[in-house]
Each structure stands twice: as structure tokens, then as C-alpha cells.
A and B are shown apart, each in its own frame.
Chain A
């Protein structure tokens, strides 16, 4: 029998884009949370953690309401891009990003907070702008933790099921990601397909875990 590899490629593409999206927004939010004091900071932190504790279908439902074709955001997207967001693979990217970003933000915040504050002061004192301090001092010192967290976030994006099925649906060849395809294969009694996808996905996940462990900072470093 021939195996349709489309779900795997789609999942990798979605996970990659979702992780990139998460990194872009996540690093910025994490940096602000770690370095600025403002009212409602801990409330924002709690709100960001919500996707970690909400059942994925509940998160998916909220997204459906927020981004559906009748919602203002959904309509804005439709006007700009020319097609609706929900039930496309782009929706799967949003789903995966929302599902994995909290993990990234939490780890990145901890990483930024663990950077010796004196070093950032020293850099400022030497005339560096905030921006340069971030790129040349804070980020390089936090990068190992952030890379490890990114790998984990990527793995989590790869495996999202609940949120994806709620807002991207299960359209074979268009929005069917690997997690959804496995469920579909089991449901329709296609054991061989399910087994193959499960094994390949497990291998990818293990590889990512191995990478994450390799880059994460050794605790005993001098």
C-alpha cells in the first residue's frame, strides 16, 4: 500500500511556522515580563498560561468564536488575505502557535530572569542601547535555555490535535495534520497507516527531545 505522507509534511510546516510565530511574539513578551514592572503583569502571565491548562477543545472553541467568519478579526483577515482563516492550514498554524507559545514564553521569561542583571547594567553603562544590550548580552546568555524551550515548543506544535481539529478541521490533503490523520486512520480501520505515522512521529519527537537536551544549559557549568 502507498502511504500518504502529506499529513506529516503539513505538520512539519505548521509546527515550523507556529514555532517561528511563537518565537517572534513570545521572546518579546517574555522579555517584557522579565524586565518591566507594570500593573497587571502577573495577570498577563496567568492569561498567557491559560492555554496550558484549558482543554484543547475549549481553546479551539474560543478561537473559533474569535476568528470565525462572522467575528471582526475573522472578517478583517478575510478582507486582507482574501480568504477565510478557519478551516485552512493557516488556521492550524494559529492553533499550534497558541498551543505551544505559553511553554516558550514561560521558559524564555525564566531564562531572561536568570541572566545576571549586573551584566545588563554593565552593558548600559558602557553606552550600549537597550536594543544592543538585548542582542549582544541578554539573548546570548539566555540562548541555550531558549533554544531548548524552542525545541520543546516545536514538538508540542507538531502534536496538537484538539485545537487544530476545532478550527482547521479534518480535510484530507488540505488541513489534515499528522495527529488528526492518525486518529482518522484508526477510526477507519487503516491500522498500517496509523502504525507508520505513529512510529515516524515518535521518531521525530525523540530526535527533538535529544536535541533539546543537548542544547539546554548544563547545570554544573562553572
Chain B
């Protein structure tokens, strides 16, 4: 397992603003996903663990070995860290065949074992037939598998993957996820995977670390982070919610309810511990959690009249975007029936109302 508490400051340069990476994170068994937008420090974090980046302060532990300790002046060089690294563009050696790529990585092992091990890995990652080809002569999926096999062959204590699915189309992506799940089963090597794809977090991650602007914004299982983002930044980054500013009008702990004011309308939701009347808070609710119907008479409780601004096709539904700045996903059939309707009523079910 990895424990890292690091700080690294990058002064502003000609093409980049100043940036500080300031993290305290740990990862254990299985797959840990480092999630964040570009420029949030994900790859820098991997580089610090692998030893390509020397932090200014802090300490990095891998199992019980100190990889880096600023105070004690310890900086284990990359070649002695036993961290497998799968680079974004595979970084296979172009002048070597796939087999030679694996052999290069296995050279630390005794000669006899090396040969057997390379054969096993070629077999396991279904590369036997193309082992004698150079990287530019094989498919993207084969390159991908070869780079994972190469990183694993030396028996690393942790496997670092830098956006392994970037630029892959859907079938290759699915294949990659299968390979990684297989690796998790067979090798039991803990993995840290960098991504900015939320679906990937759910497909693979047992644990998710959300990075924002060089800091750890939240950590936990993906499902929990999705249900309960810790901050407005995290909620924005996930990009899944309607974020609406509301005012707390009343709190009733006895009935376990609260009343929120959204523009001129009142919504009733579950009681909000730790909030006071008059607080301005952010309501976060996913478009698929809301209900929309063509307007029909006076709006009932938790219903808000809204004018349709735009509609957008989604793979499984239609997203209606309303003028108040929120969106609702409705089933295609429902939308087809009311294609020409401009005035709708949007219902905010009390159970889904959560605030930040």
C-alpha cells in the first residue's frame, strides 16, 4: 500500500501558471482511481510515486519501505522503486519486438526463470502470435496489453496507470477494463489509475481519490462520492448534477423536514442538520432524479413551473433543459408525446433533495 504526503511547488513559467501539489493520500488493495480534470495534478502524483518527480516536502511510503523522505534526504531512484508504470502512450520500445520489450523488463530475474516468465506473460496477455513483431506492427489493444504485461513482469509492488483508456474507442475500452479486472484477480497487485472519466471510476475503482487544483478534494468509494460530494468543486467536477442556489426558509427537526426557497417557489425536503434559517446553500440533484410533465393546472407541492429552453438527445432518454438553469431526463416516449409543449411542471421529489 502507498502512503504519500507530499508538497511540490512549481513556479510560474512562460507557458504555465504557478501550481502547488499538496497531497495527503493513501491507497490500499485493489484499484484506486485518481480522478480529476486536466491540470489537477494526477500525473504529477504518479510521477512522484514512481520517482520521476522529487517533491519539496513530505514522505512517500510503499508497504513498509520509505521511497521518499524530504526531512531525511531519502529519494530512492526510479529504477529501485518496484513501481510498475503504464504510460499514456504505452511507451513500448519501438526498436524491440514485443518479446524483447518483455525481456528487457525481466532482466533483473535469473536467466532461466526469465525465459519462462516472458513466455507465461505472452500467453496470459494473448500476445503469443505477435510476440515477434514490433510495436508499430500490432494493434492498439495488443500494444496496451503488452505495456501492462511489461510493467507487471518484474513483480512490482504497485501498478501505476496513467489514463490507460485515453484515446481508445468503446470496444477497446471494454477490453482494457476486462484485462485490468483480470490483473486484479491474478496478480493481486494494487493499482493506482489516473483518469478523468467518471464511468471508468465506476467500472474499475474500489476507491476513488478526487483531485482538484493540486489538492485531495474527497476520497471514498465512487458510489458514496457520487451520492454525497463533499464540496461544490467536487460536485461541479463530477458534472452530473443540477446545481441550484436555494435559501433555507424553515427547519423542522420534529417532522424531519425543511423548506427551501428556489427563486419564487418552495420545496420541502428532509431536515438539514447543521444549517440555519436564511442560509444560502447549493441544491444538487441529478437530471434523472427529477420528473417533468406538461403543465396542467396549478403546480402542486414540490412542483415548479418551467419553460423549456432546449432538448438534447441522450442514448437512453431525452434531456430537457429549462430556462431556470436545470435539466431533467425524461423517457423518449414521454418526450415524443409532448414534443411541442413549451411549458412544463418539474417535480423535485423530497427524497432526492440534498444540499452542499
Contact = CB atoms under 8 A, between A and B. Distances in A.
A122 interface: yes
Contact of B79 (A125, A140, A141): A125
A127 B79 contact: yes
A122 B147 CA distance: 10
B154 A122 contact: no
B84 to A, nearest CB: 8
Interface in A185-222: 222
A54 interface: no
B95 A126 contact: no
B94 A141 contact: yes
A137 B104 CA distance: 10
B309 interface: no
Contacts of B78: 121, 124-125
B105 interface: yes
Contacts of A140: 95
Interface in A18-33: none
Interface in B272-287: none
B136 A126 contact: no
A136 B77 CA distance: 19
B136 A122 contact: no
A110 interface: no
A219 to B, nearest CB: 16
A125 B91 CA distance: 11
B85 interface: yes
B91 A119 contact: yes
B260 interface: no
Interface in A125-142: 125-129, 136-137, 140-141
Nearest to A222: B136
A141 B154 contact: no
Interface residues of B, number: 25
Nearest to B50: A125
B285 to A, nearest CB: 43
A140 B85 CA distance: 22
Contacts of A141: 94-95
A222 B134 CA distance: 12
Contacts of A48: none
B87 interface: yes
Given A127-B108, A127-B154, A128-B104, A122 B79 contact: no
A34 interface: no
A79 interface: no
Given A121-B78, A129-B79, A141-B95, A136 B89 contact: no
A63 interface: no
Contacts of A124: 77-79
A126 B105 contact: yes
A129 to B, nearest CB: 6
B235 interface: no
B145 interface: no
Given A119-B93, A121-B78, A222-B136, A126 B87 contact: no
A118 interface: yes
B89 A126 contact: no
Contacts of A126: 79, 104-105, 150-151, 154
A128 B79 contact: yes
Contacts of B80: 127
Nearest to A137: B93
B62 to A, nearest CB: 14
A123 interface: yes
A89 to B, nearest CB: 39
A127 B77 CA distance: 10
Nearest to A132: B107
Nearest to A129: B79
Contacts of A136: 104
Nearest to B94: A141
B10 interface: no
B83 interface: yes
A137 B81 CA distance: 20
A127 B76 CA distance: 12
Nearest to A125: B85
Interface in B94-118: 94-95, 104-105, 107-108
A125 B53 CA distance: 13
A124 to B, nearest CB: 5
Interface string A72-113: 000000000000000000000000000000000000000000
25 contacts: A119-B91, A119-B94, A121-B85, A121-B87, A121-B91, A122-B85, A122-B87, A122-B91, A123-B93, A123-B104, A124-B78, A125-B50, A125-B84, A126-B105, A126-B150, A126-B151, A126-B154, A127-B79, A127-B82, A127-B108, A127-B154, A128-B79, A129-B79, A141-B94, A222-B136
Interface of A: 116, 118-119, 121-129, 136-137, 140-141, 222
Interface of B: 50, 52, 77-85, 87, 89, 91, 93-95, 104-105, 107-108, 136, 150-151, 154
Given A121-B52, A125-B50, 9 more contacts: A118-B91, A119-B93, A119-B94, A125-B81, A126-B104, A126-B154, A127-B79, A127-B105, A128-B107
